[in-house]
């Protein structure tokens, strides 16, 4: 489970997160919504360990481990996955090669047996079928020339292969049409279960019609100002963020 207490974070000397408290029990899907500039992406980056985000106070523990003290790849091996808002391109690096290398690196770190090329391919094809992805995605360079929708689907495919314990989806729905949105949602839903938690960060409520969260939190000015059940998302949509600004 993920427990964040009093987390304050600065970016280039400017405070962005001003005391975030959040607890996601194992097996639950939580959503974070907030206006632009509220610190949503900052939260996802600081949890995954990107450089340039300075923790000035507070803690974040995942299954008892202090993840803020770990390198990005160590957090990944511990079960953390970030679906990027803007997935980067890796020219010349084959998609299959990349995913197999990542999977095996994590398995090795956990003392598990690595998969050979045949085993990996079998696993990958299974997952891709479930996500309605064609085989040739495997041969292309990672995200090279992918449309926005393809990039997001590639993120979900990686998630399905790496089987994280905690998935952070950073505005996964931005730029997607309804069909792509459904596939992404199905991919996430397929992973739901007792060993899987997710933090869905989104600006719009629409995605949450397909990935129904257990709890919804509103992030404003770097702090969680309100938490509630799934109906909170609908409230937000009806009233807008301004209403919550007053409560902050």
Partner 1 sequence: MPAVTETIETVQSVTDSGYKWGFETDIEMEFAPKGLNEDIVRFISAKKNEPAWLLEWRLRAFAAWKTMEEPRWAAVKYPPIDYQDSYYYAAPKQKAGPKSLDEVDPELLRTYEKLGIPLREQEILAGVEGAGGTPAEGRMPVAVDAVFDSVSVATTFKGRLEKEGIIFCSISEAVQNHPDLVRKYLGTVVPQGDNFFAALNSAVFTDGSFVYIPKGVRCPMELSTYFRINAKGTGQFERTLIVADAGSHVSYLEGCTAPMRDENQLHAAVVELVAMDDATIKYSTVQNWYPGDAEGRGGIYNFVTKRGACRGARSKISWTQVETGSAITWKYPSCILQGEDSVGEFYSVAITNNYQQADTGTKMFHIGPRTKSTIVSKGISAGHGQNTYRGLVRIGAKAHGARNFTQCDSLLIGDLCGAHTVPYIENRCLSAKVEHEATTSRIAEDQLFYCRQRGLSEEDAVGLIVNGFCREVLKELPMEFAVEAQKLLQISLEGSVG
Query: Which one, 82 or 218, has the nearer CB to partner 1?
Result: 82
Residue count, binding to partner 1 (CB under 8 A):
34
Query: Which one, 46 or 220, has the nearer CB to partner 1?
Result: 46
Query: Which one, 86 or 204, has the nearer CB to partner 1?
Result: 86
- Residue 197 makes contact with partner 1 by CB under 8 A: no
Minimum distance between the CB of residue 220 and partner 1, rounded to whole angstroms?
A: 27
- Residue 82 makes contact with partner 1 by CB under 8 A: yes
Asked if 200 and 181 touch (Cβ cutoff 8 Å), the reply is no
Minimum distance between the CB of residue 40 and partner 1, rounded to whole angstroms?
A: 17
- Residue 77 makes contact with partner 1 by CB under 8 A: yes
Task: State how beta strands 54-62 and 2-11 pair.
Answer: antiparallel
- Residue 48 makes contact with partner 1 by CB under 8 A: yes
Count of Cβ atoms closer than 10 Å to residue 73 Cβ: 13
Minimum distance between the CB of residue 45 and partner 1, rounded to whole angstroms?
A: 9
Query: Which one, 29 or 82, has the nearer CB to partner 1?
Result: 82
CA geometry: angle 7, 11, 16, nearest 5 deg: 50
91-106 as b/e: b if 16+ CB within 10 A: eeebbbbbbbeebbeb
Q: Mask: binding to partner 1, 98-137, rule CB under 8 A, as x and -?
A: xx-xxx-xx--x----------------------------
CA-closest candidate to residue 139, choices 154, 119, 126: 154
Under 8 Å CB-to-CB from 27, ≥6 apart: which residues?
Answer: 192, 193, 194, 195, 196, 197
Q: Which stretch binds partner 1 (CB under 8 A): 95-103, 119-127, 185-193, 194-202?
A: 95-103
Query: Which one, 11 or 93, has the nearer CB to partner 1?
Result: 93
Query: Which one, 2 or 99, has the nearer CB to partner 1?
Result: 99
Query: Which one, 69 or 243, has the nearer CB to partner 1?
Result: 69
- What's the number of CA atoms in the CB half-sphere (13 Å) around residue 208? 28
Distance CA 59, CA 21 (A): 9
Strands, DSSP E only, in 54-174?
Answer: 54-62, 65-66, 80-83, 90-94, 141-142, 166-170
Q: Mask: binding to partner 1, 159-178, rule CB under 8 A, as x and -?
A: ---x----------------
Distance CA 209, CA 181 (A): 10
Asked if 128 and 190 touch (Cβ cutoff 8 Å), the reply is no
Residues that bind partner 1 (CB under 8 A): 48-51, 71-73, 75-77, 80-82, 84, 87-94, 97-99, 101-103, 105-106, 109, 141, 158, 162
């Amino acid at each position: 489970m993920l427990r964040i207490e009093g987390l304050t974070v600065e970016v280039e000397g400017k405070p962005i997160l001003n005391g975030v408290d959040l607890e996601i029990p194992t097996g639950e899907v939580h959503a974070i919504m907030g206006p632009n500039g509220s610190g949503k992406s900052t939260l996802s980056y600081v949890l995954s360990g990107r450089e340039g985000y300075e923790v000035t106070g507070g803690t974040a523990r995942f299954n008892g481990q202090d993840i803020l003290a770990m390198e990005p790849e160590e957090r990944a091996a511990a079960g953390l996955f970030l679906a990027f808002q803007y997935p980067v391109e890796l020219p010349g690096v084959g998609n299959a090669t990349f995913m197999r290398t990542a999977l095996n690196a994590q398995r090795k770190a956990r003392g598990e047996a690595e998969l050979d090329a045949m085993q990996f391919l079998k696993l990958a094809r299974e997952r891709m079928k479930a996500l309605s992805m064609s085989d040739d995605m495997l041969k292309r360079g990672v995200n090279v020339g992918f449309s926005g929708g393809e990039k997001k689907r590639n993120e979900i495919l990686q998630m399905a292969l790496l089987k994280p314990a905690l998935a952070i989806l950073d505005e996964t729905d931005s730029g997607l049409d309804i069909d792509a949105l459904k596939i992404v949602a199905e991919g996430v839903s397929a992973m739901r279960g007792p060993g899987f938690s997710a933090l869905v960060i989104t600006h719009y409520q629409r995605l949450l019609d397909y990935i129904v969260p257990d709890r919804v939190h509103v992030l404003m000015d770097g702090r969680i100002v309100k938490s509630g059940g799934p109906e909170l998302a609908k409230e937000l949509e009806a009233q807008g963020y301004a209403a919550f600004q007053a409560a902050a």
